[in-house]
């Protein structure tokens, strides 16, 4: 609030602390926090308490969550729905699905041909605004998540790293000028820290990167 932001997003996804409490894989506690959603709910309460004391204008609170984990035991779609219910009752301003592919299907807990994004949007049922994300590279990709995925918003991650002017180009109907890949010489231009740059080059398929021979890796 002091820095002038309009809200905060609590990161309850991708293995960070909040997800570690929610996860049956990592939460082996025997105290009150064996209730796996409790830590996140207490944190939300405290953040809202601070907002109530210090905010001079509306200040949003969102929550990002991973709908599943690959481990067994691990979070399943069914357990994600229980978390969603608790988060909605906590009166958040929005929820943000964390997935690398918006169209990936559920691993377990629910049998369906629909994607996680579609299943979650249906379950939320308009009770809270929902952000979809995952392999959105073009404006058409974003439109699909909004229309077919039924989310209220889309988030961009890797696409913005590749082209920081993605949104402006989309708004100006210049989507053909959107850059859709990095090259191995783009680290400084893209202002990417060296540890992250090394991962980008090492993890094939994570970021679209052209090598010297102009092939996508």
The CA-CA-CA angle for residues 134, 37, 45, to 5°, reads 95
Backbone angles phi, psi at 59, to 5 degrees: -135, 115
Q: For residue 34, what is the enclosing H or E element?
A: none
Catalytic (active site) residue 16: yes
Q: Which of 145, 143, 214, 141 is nearest to 181 (CA)?
A: 214
Question: How is residue 33 annotated by DSSP?
Answer: G
The burial of 75, by beta-carbon neighbours within 10 Å (0-12 exposed, 13-18 middle, 19 or more buried), is given as: buried
Which residue in 16, 63, 94, 123 is the catalytic one?
Answer: 16
Q: Which of 136, 145, 143 is nearest to 180 (CA)?
A: 136
Which residue(s) pair with 11 in the sheet? 64
Phi/psi for 126 (5° steps) reads 80, 5
Catalytic residue positions? 16
């Amino acid at each position: 609030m002091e820095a002038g932001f309009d809200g905060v997003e609590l990161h309850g996804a991708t293995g960070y602390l909040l997800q570690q409490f929610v996860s049956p894989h990592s939460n082996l506690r025997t105290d009150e926090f064996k209730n796996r959603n409790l830590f996140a709910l207490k944190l939300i309460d405290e953040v809202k308490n601070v907002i109530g004391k210090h905010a001079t204008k509306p200040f949003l609170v969102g929550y990002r969550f991973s709908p599943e984990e690959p481990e067994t035991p691990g979070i399943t779609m069914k357990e994600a729905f229980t978390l969603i219910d608790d988060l909605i009752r906590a009166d958040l301003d929005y929820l943000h699905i964390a997935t690398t592919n918006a169209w990936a299907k559920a691993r377990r807990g629910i049998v369906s041909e629909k994607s996680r994004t579609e299943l979650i949007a249906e379950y939320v049922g308009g009770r809270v605004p929902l952000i979809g994300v995952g392999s959105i590279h073009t404006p058409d990709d974003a439109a699909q998540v909004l229309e077919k995925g039924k989310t209220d918003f889309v988030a961009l991650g890797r696409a913005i790293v590749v082209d920081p002017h993605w949104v402006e180009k989309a708004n100006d109907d210049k989507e053909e000028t959107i850059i859709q890949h990095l090259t191995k010489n783009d680290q400084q231009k893209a202002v990417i820290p060296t540890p992250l740059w090394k991962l980008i080059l090492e993890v094939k398929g994570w970021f679209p990167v052209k090598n010297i021979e102009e092939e996508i890796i």
